[in-house]
Structure 1
């Protein structure tokens, strides 16, 4: 298929903007946004450039995003890079999985996967997030044996051990060896990615439009997130656990 020079040029401008900012909004770049959304040729050319760099280009509402695919360490983060960002210098895999558990906990507190928009809360407190992480790990270890942990995809025992090694500091220490510091650096990382707003003086966490778009249009459609959400809902609902436990015992 032959493309017009103007379409090629416009797609390059769009992709350059996406490379620089990872997003392109209608408010800030109306001309480029209009070119992408109204021209099939421009959209196809732009997406092909994303493919070349192992990334997807998706429009969610009034914003176009450049989304690195899994294991794309050029535009995104490898596991090792993410571990360095989120954990202390001598972190183990358990520490890394604890950081992922903390992020999943935050997501499930804001988004329940129901309705037109899954966003259910305007904000949460960092202290509430820390307490929820502790409670869910405790419940997970008590309720899930090794076999069920493997089935759920969440190694509660290993993650809880990593969490318990962190000290507690009511003064709000930012040392990565404390629970408060561990959580602080995760929140600051998410803020740098434009996914949350962390208002430290109010101990308040808010999601951004970018995060809402990703959750409503992308992540909530993933089977893995739905599986985690189901596990967390069970941990938060004692009656659900009792019912499932009784059912499993009857089936033995």
Structure 2
């Protein structure tokens, strides 16, 4: 399709803001929604760098869709900037798992259209993770191996890393100089997600999802095509549980 030069320039200017900042304000949203040519061009620009445009009521976001994108945050970068010195892939898997548990805790059932809670306390987040870990432990070794192949998550290593952070064992770990509590780890995950614009710290040890997070969850985590049913697997065991905890 041939586009007028003015439209190409407008779209490219908008793309450069997204590439630089990862987001735009309301002006970008209005332009994206109102002009088919600019929307088409911007989507094309994003596709060329393996990204997608996420639009909320007030902002546009440029979000990497694959690990090939130059805007993708690498595992090594996360380790260096957020996890403790000497962090392993196990710490990274646990960070991802904690994020999935967080996202799922805001929704009543798999494929919910809207969040069913406004905020989450950090201690509740820890408790939800423990519940999901306990459920994972009901599978035997062979089952976990099969599930690891199906979902590409190292469930056994996640269990091991979480158990190693048991607060009851903290005094012994302090003596060895290798201490990290579950709440401390969750605070690190919260900081990472806040820096990515996915959660907002509202004080009193409480966080809430941003519009960016809600849009991404609906577009990807609630779609089996993208997530292979990961939230259904994690939360499908006790779907009624969240209604009891509101």
Same fold (TM over 0.5): yes
Contact 1:87-1:99 within 8 A present in 2 as well = no
Count matched residues: 228
User: Does residue 1:113 correspond to 2:116, yes or no?
Assistant: no
Q: Secondary structure at the match of 1:218?
A: helix
* TM-score normalised to structure 1 length: 0.78
Contact 1:87/1:176 (CA < 8 Å) preserved in 2?
A: no
Taking the aligned partners of 1:73 and 1:226, their CA distance within structure 2 comes to 21
Structure 1, unaligned runs of 5 or more: 239-252
Q: Per-residue displacement from partner, 1:202-247 (whole Å, max 9, x unpaired)?
A: 1111111111122223331244646222223344369xxxxxxxxx
Which aligned pairs between 1:75-224 and structure 2 lie closer than 5 A? Answer: 75-111=71-107, 112-115=109-112, 117-141=113-137, 143-149=138-144, 150-151=146-147, 153=151, 154-168=153-167, 177-200=180-203, 202-223=204-225
CA-CA distance at 1:92 after TM superposition? 1.5
Q: Tell me, yes or no, if the aligned pair for 2:29 and 2:55 is still in contact at 8 Å.
A: no
Unaligned 5+ segments in structure 2 are: 171-177, 241-246
Alpha-carbon separation, structure 2, partners of 1:10 and 1:40: 12
**TM-score normalised to structure 2 length:** 0.80
Distance 1:92 1:146 in 2: 22
Q: Which residue of 1 aligns with 2:16?
A: 16
Are the counterparts in 2 of residues 136 and 236 from structure 1 also a CA contact under 8 Å?
no
Change (3 A) 1:176 1:118: farther
Computing the radius of gyration from Cα coordinates, the structure with the larger value is 1
Q: Which has the higher contact order (CA 8 A, sep 6+)?
A: 2
